Amino acid sequence: MLTIADKTFRSRLFTGTGKFSRAALMEQALLESGSELVTVALKRVDVQNEQDDILTHLHHPQFHLLPNTSGVRNAKEAVFAAQLAREALETNWIKLEIHPDPKYLLPDAVETLKATEELAKLGFVVLPYIHADPVLCKRLEEVGTAAVMPLGSPIGSNKGLRTIDFLEIIIEQSKVPVVVDAGIGAPSDAAKALELGADAVLVNTAIAAAADPVAMARAFRLAVEAGRLAFEARLAPPTPNAAASSPLTAFLDQL
């Protein structure tokens, strides 16, 4: 079981709600994924409208909502967005995403640290999306982050884990859960992240943009379970060459 702040999760697969072609398809995929933490962009929630379509589809007891601040460009906007989200969705959990550059949506380390500190003081459970930067992770810990969410590769790129060398250091050093976020393009990437010792992964585009999102959601569910199991069962390390042993050869030599 994974614990973050006051919640425990059986599933180590966190999911996103963007880019699905239809809300009903999203709902079905998320149910199939087994996910218990579902991030939703504030931009997608009509905060004035209680009948907002997407929320209806997320109304299942197993889904905890994790509003995200996607679209904000600095700490001040992020704090404001988090407060809006808390009111609208009645949760103090917030996925902090601060990306001033609209092209690659990469996170801003300095503003993220500032916003995390402020939001933690305001009683939020903060899960910040960050570069795979081990030192930043430690500083986020110091100011009260609930978890760290280092990226595997640029958001939406499906390029997989391009930051393994740094994820390994983060996992080695972190005292809070490590959730690999962004870039995970295939179940094998998710399995790999868990094998390395990540506590969870967040997947969105790779499920939503698959030809069959529901089947892909199931594939990710299995892969995450596989990766966690493998981490616990401990993989044998790579070896330089084969351990040959061939009694048959000896037998053949005697013929």
CA–CA dist 176, 4 (Å, integer): 8
CB of 5 to its own copies, least distance (A): 24
227 has binding-site annotation: no
Per-residue binding string, its own copies, 111-150, x by CB under 8 A, is --x-----------------x-xxxx-xx-----------
Residue identified by tokens 């499906």 is: 158
- Which DSSP state fits 237? P
According to CB under 8 A, which residues from 5 to 34 bind its own copies?
A: 19
230 has binding-site annotation: no
Residue 8 dihedral angles phi and psi, to the nearest 5°: -120, 150
Catalytic site includes residue 95: yes
According to CB under 8 A, which residues from 159 to 178 bind its own copies?
A: 159-160, 162-166, 169, 173
Q: Where are the beta strands (DSSP E) in 42-189?
A: 64-68, 93-96, 125-130, 149-150, 179-181
Q: Which stretch binds its own copies (CB under 8 A): 5-13, 49-57, 101-109, 121-129?
A: 101-109
CA–CA dist 161, 230 (Å, integer): 18
Per-residue binding string, its own copies, 204-233, x by CB under 8 A, is -xx--xxxxxxxx-xxxxxx-xxx-xx-xx
Catalytic residue among 95, 121, 159, 175: 95
Which of 34, 38, 107 is closest to 70 using CA atoms? 107
With vertex at residue 184, the alpha carbon angle to CA 100 and CA 67, rounded to the nearest 5 degrees, is: 55
156 has binding-site annotation: yes
State the catalytic residues.
95
Sequence ranges of the binding site for 1-deoxy-D-xylulose 5-phosphate: 156, 182-183, 204-205
